[in-house]
Structure 1
Amino acid sequence: MNIVYDSFAEFNDNTKGFEPALAKKWTVNGDMMTVSLRKQTWHNGDQVTANDVVVQYRLAKYEGDLVWNYLDAVTAKDDSTVQFKLIGELNPTVIKRYILPTRVHAPAYVFKEYLNKIENASEGDERDKAIANLLNYAREKPTGNGPYKVDKTTNSKFELSVYKDHPWADDISVKNYEFKYASGNQDRWASLSSGNIDGYGSTYVPPDVYKSLPDSIREVNFTQYADFALVFNHDDEDFGKRKVRQALAHIIDRKTVANNVGPRTRKPIKVPTGTSPFATKKYLPSSVVDSLNKYETNEEKATKLLQEAGYSKEGNKWVRGDGKPLKAPIKVDSGLSDYVSGVQTIVPQLKSFGIQAELKTIEGVSLSKQIRNSDFRLQGDSWGEWNESYPFFDYRSAFVSQDMVEWRNLPDQVTVPWPPENPNGEKKVKPSKMVIELSETTSKEKQQKLLGQLAWIYNITLPKLQMSERMDQAWINEKDWDVPSNDEDVMGVRFPAFWAVKTGAISPK
């Protein structure tokens, strides 16, 4: 709960910067990031110290936290100063996005014993057992450090009150807070419709329910910088072919798909760059973006691409070189109703073009096992790094992540027209290497060049076919509260029911 625990800083979608919280300042100089903690105590009265942070990070190393791909060591310079020794001079935007959202969850003494056992254990079974003991440990009474402390818990709710020694305590107008249990979206929608709730964080509300909400319920939207995509098995005998993927991109009407996935909350991807429309505009070279294939619906182009890939049309059906029909079974998690709607929209579009498409809904756990075993041909899933506006994370997800490389069999090296914008030949490139270079360069000029190259490669090879971008919905009931307008800076942190309350921006009428 982000009102019980403070992060170093919170990202603000309105300003596109970080808002200080537990950290009062931070710097990145060379191969060192330094975070200075403000004076703050745990809810038991103990001081929050740099050593608390050090223990948490050292434990995270054994839990496989990706941040340790970029860290050499984490140490306490003094009680209020944490030093993150980097593996070298790194892209400061990347390292800040990794470290600043950190929530410090416990005083050092809570987990110090576990850390000592792990670090003193020999490699192999002894260390694995020590790590397993850590992962299985459940604290009965966690101690927070945020502006609200937990007073009481029941099966139906958490009761919280302002922690009087928190630095923001005097500014907070909402002295008591309740988290009520909701069994699912139906419960949440009923609470909003009746006006019996003051706010929700991320809660999807369909158009029909939205129309029934009282006038006092205000919606606050946050771009999630990710959403629905058609995902390919790159080892597949059909969809492992680049021209087949490109043909599908020209067949599928992304605008219709986006509208059916979420009529009020989705926007179609106009140009598949592998990152969000915001990041495309802010970070990618415009000259590269202007030269990319928009993959507008065009049956002539799709036909030409399939023919060049060795397929032909017999009657109204596309067939492979061996005479067998081109089939497109698309698996999707049955519990993701919006993604199911997306696949339900894609299937008839492909069928109309002559491809034997089929929707296959599968329970989530079973589908995850199948994906890990590469037991799929096409999947309705997601693209991008949720809630992350800097494109490095999208390209890391697309070109480096385990689920793409090992489960979806993305090749490490591809041949593409080169250079971007005005190619005069072809070149073998390794996008995963470029992603690593992007994380390691401090030159903004080189960062932009690498981002342009990655967008170019993504647009040509289509690791995934982006369909839509999602807007997250948060809710505030203004009936009893004075709430800032949505465009004010304080409303740009996820989510107003938490951040705007704990910073004192929301007050009783």
Structure 2
Amino acid sequence: MSQESVPHSTAETSRRRLLQSTGAAGAAALAGCFGGGDSDGPTGGEITGDEPMTERTFTAPTSVIPGDMQWNDSNDSNYPDRPGFVVFDRLLYFRATTGEFVEGALSDWEVGEDTATLTLQEGVTWHNGEDATAADLERKLHISLYDNHPMGNYTSVENVEAVDDRSVEIGLEADVSEPVFLNSIRALQLDRPAEQYEDIRQELADDPDSTALTEFAPEEPIGTGPFAYENAGEQELVTTKFEDSHWADDVNFREYRFQFIDGNEQAWQAIRGGTVDALHNIFTSPDIKASFPDTVVEIQQPTNWGKSIAFDHEHEHLGQREVRQAIAHAIDREVVAENSAGGGDAKAPVEIPTGIAGNFDGSAQDWLDDPDDFEDYSGQNTERAAELLEEAGFSRENGTWVDEDGETLEFEYKVPAAWNDWVDAAITMNQHLQDFGIETNLVTRDDGVYFGEDLYGDTGFDAAGFWFSDGWTYPYHSLNWSLNSWDARNVYNYPESVDVPPIGEPDGESETIEFGPEFEALVGMDPDSDGTRQKINELAWAFNYDLPLLPLMEKVDQCFVSTENFKVVDESDADASGIQYPTTFLPRVGKLVARAEE
């Protein structure tokens, strides 16, 4: 997977490029050095907390040409996600290893029955020198709601108001549990200064259908993070330490640079050759890792998302449930995951397709009252796949499946060319389907074409690589994402309701499930209640039976840091493996620091 290949979070309108938002149960440890290390140890030496300021530069990749970057993440084109993570502050961060929410631009938050209150940190400052205030947070939340943020399920613009210099109150119009509320806002960044966005807020207030936000493309950002925009050339973005940042005391290097790197091969070569100090998140097989210098350490983090097949539900054949089920039976997900991982441990096959993440440790099945009631579609059950196609009116002629009109069962399957692990998985999947008699054509696409035209443009697709969860473990989020999100309706054209039989009775009498009301009810339910568990089982069964997507495998993120000029905390520190991304979060808290200059 490429450096900026991550699923889009429903915490921002999901028609944009991909943004990472994680939420995981369980730890993913710092893997340590896969060589002999140096004299200071695999992490580069002890971090004491009082490291002196240096003039060093930390360099990492970006997949967006710096000269083409624009800094509005509501705009489809050329937003640089990883640089954005150091230029802007998230409202809060999530520590996957412990399940804790961690202060970002917010110092405090409280979710009550009728009101949620968010309080800014003291000392948060815009890079133009202005103090960040509750009015800025109010603007951010207003614009997010105009931009279809999921907070709109339980509040509206008129109920979001700054009540003093640092606090915003959000009136809740519907029940919402604290985990749902906090998870829904944790990918939000404080990135809407009045200088650039106040006029846009007013225009959206006057005309909610205005395109002013999605067309705005600022060439320079005004951020709140520990590093401020300095300049951008064709190959390199330069950001410099912002001395007035509330993180500044823990940052001990002067510059954070982002070098344009196009594709995994170039990224691997860059860290081998020492032209970058880190790779943010990139799938790397064991043989490639073995080629890195001994000074490079790996940090693995849970992502709670992975590759699936998105079907165009308006496709003549793929819109038929029996066809999707037959495809699931014809593909061996374990082989797909093994081939994609290249012999490593970064991929796990999806055990039971339900849309719930947690396939590395089996926690996805912990939500199911009786996993045996769900179809696992395991292995390659081509006999069952054939039965399903025959039930749908297909027959096999000369080894190829055709419908009742003699039309061949065929489709194109698109994946981004630079995501080498997805391409490897797609090659395996393609072979399984062709062996079974379904004519598939694997099409690899440039990232810009894939996301800008195929997924979120007018070109479309028959089937495409997609993410079956957007990074959360609580099933409300992942099921809402796959069954009821903007992407479900507009990217793969999934209907708002489906007819589903009782759990575990695929031949039983079906009833209609309306997804909108189901998720409106679930959003406010106590996550620990029996009623919540029952509703999650019903929605997971709807996914399992109707297959809006076919999840194939789940992944962990792999981050790499060179310790030649920098030190990074070891596996005993929860921040290292718990908060994404190590390359963008750890400098904030003094746990990725420059070595003293000689």
User: Is the TM-score greater than 0.5?
Assistant: yes
CA shift for structure 1 position 365: 6.1
Aligned partner of 1:415: which letter?
D
Query: Which of 185-194 and 50-59 deviates more?
Result: 185-194
Q: Distance in 1 between matches of 2:430 and 2:211?
A: 44
Secondary structure of residue in 2 paired with 1:225: coil
* C-alpha separation in 2, matches of 1:413 and 1:68: 21
Identify the match of residue 492 of structure 2 among 393, 408, 417: 408
- Partner in structure 2 of residue 260 of structure 1: 339
The residue that corresponds to 2:373 in the other structure is: 291
Shift of the 363–92 alpha-carbon distance from structure 1 to 2, 3 Å rule, reads same
Counterpart of 2:272? 193
State whether residues 239 and 377 of structure 1, in contact with CA within 8 Å, keep that contact through their aligned partners in structure 2: no
The corresponding residue for 2:182 is 96
More moved, 323-332 vs 461-470: 323-332
**Partner in structure 2 of residue 504 of structure 1:** 590
What's 2:515 paired with? 431
Aligned pair partner of 1:472 in 549, 557, 572 = 557
The secondary structure found in structure 2 opposite 1:258 is: helix
Q: What secondary structure, in the 3-state scheme, does the structure 2 residue paired with 1:71 have? A: coil
Provide the TM-score with structure 2 as the length reference.
0.75
Any conservation in 1 of the 2:87–2:228 contact (CA below 8 Å)? yes
* TM-aligned CA distance change 1:379 to 1:339, over 3 Å: farther
Q: Name the counterpart of 2:476.
A: 392
Query: Does the CA contact (< 8 Å) of 1:340 and 1:380 recur in 2?
Result: no
Q: Which moved more, 1:110-119 or 1:467-476?
A: 110-119
The letter of the residue matching 1:411 is P
Instruction: Tell me if the contact between 1:232 and 1:464 (Cα under 8 Å) persists in the aligned partners.
Output: yes
Question: Which residue, 309, 329, 336 being the options, matches 1:230?
Answer: 309
| 2:401 equivalent in structure 1 | 318
- Identify if the C-alpha distance between structure 1 residues 51 and 299 changes in structure 2 by more than 3 Å, giving closer, same or farther: same
Show the counterpart of 1:202: 281
Distance across 1 between alignment mates of 2:260 and 2:471: 24
Aligned with residue 533 of structure 2, among 448, 451, 466? 448
- Asked whether the equivalents of residues 333 and 340 of structure 1 are also in contact (C-alpha less than 8 Å), the reply is yes
Q: Which amino acid aligns with 1:326?
A: L
8 Å contact kept, 1:106–1:142: no
Asked whether the equivalents of residues 357 and 469 of structure 2 are also in contact (C-alpha less than 8 Å), the reply is no
When the two structures are superposed, what TM-score results if normalisation uses the length of structure 1?
A: 0.87
Q: Which among 164, 167, 172 is matched to residue 78 of structure 1? A: 164
Q: Name the SS of the counterpart of 1:180 in structure 2.
A: strand
Q: Is the 8 A contact 1:273 1:280 kept in 2?
A: no
- SS at structure 1 position matched to 2:442: strand
CA distance in 2: counterparts of 1:501 and 1:345, whole angstroms: 40
Cα RMSD for the two superposed structures: 3.1
Partner of 2:581: 495
What secondary structure, in the 3-state scheme, does the structure 2 residue paired with 1:340 have?
A: helix
Range with greater deviation from structure 2 (449-458 or 238-247): 238-247
Letter of the aligned partner of 2:93 in structure 1? E
Q: 2:358 aligned with 1:273, yes or no?
A: no
Per-residue deviation, 1:28: 0.4
> Which structure has more RCO (C-alpha within 8 Å, separation ≥ 6)?
2
Contact persistence 1:226–1:382 (CA under 8 A): no
- Which range moved further: 220-229 or 204-213? 204-213
CA distance in 2, matches of 1:112, 1:147: 23
More helix by share: 1
Change in CA separation of 1:374 and 1:229 when aligned onto 2, cut-off 3 Å: farther
Distance 1:426 1:82, change over 3 A: same
Q: 1:55 to 1:358 in 2, by over 3 A?
A: closer
Q: 2:188, 2:314 → 1: CA distance?
A: 37
Cα 1:132–1:180 change in 2 (3 A) is: same
Partner amino acid, structure 2, of 1:439: V
Q: Does 1:52 align with 2:154?
A: no
Q: Which has the larger radius of gyration?
A: 1
* AA matched with 1:327: E
Q: What's the CA shift for 1:203?
A: 3.1
Where does structure 2 lack aligned partners over 5 or more consecutive residues? 1-83
Deviates more, 1:366-375 or 1:176-185: 366-375
Matched, 1:11 2:94: yes
| Stretch deviating more after TM superposition (386-395 or 420-429) | 420-429
Q: 2:389 aligns with which of 302, 306, 312?
A: 306
Q: Percent of pairs identical after alignment? A: 25
Q: Give the partner amino acid of 1:291.
A: D
Partner SS state of residue 30, structure 1: coil
Paired residue for 2:298?
219
Q: What amino acid is the match of 2:254?
A: N
Which of 357, 365, 389 is 2:440 aligned to?
357
Q: Structure 1: which 5+ residue stretches go unaligned? A: none
Q: Which residue of 1 aligns with 2:222?
A: 143
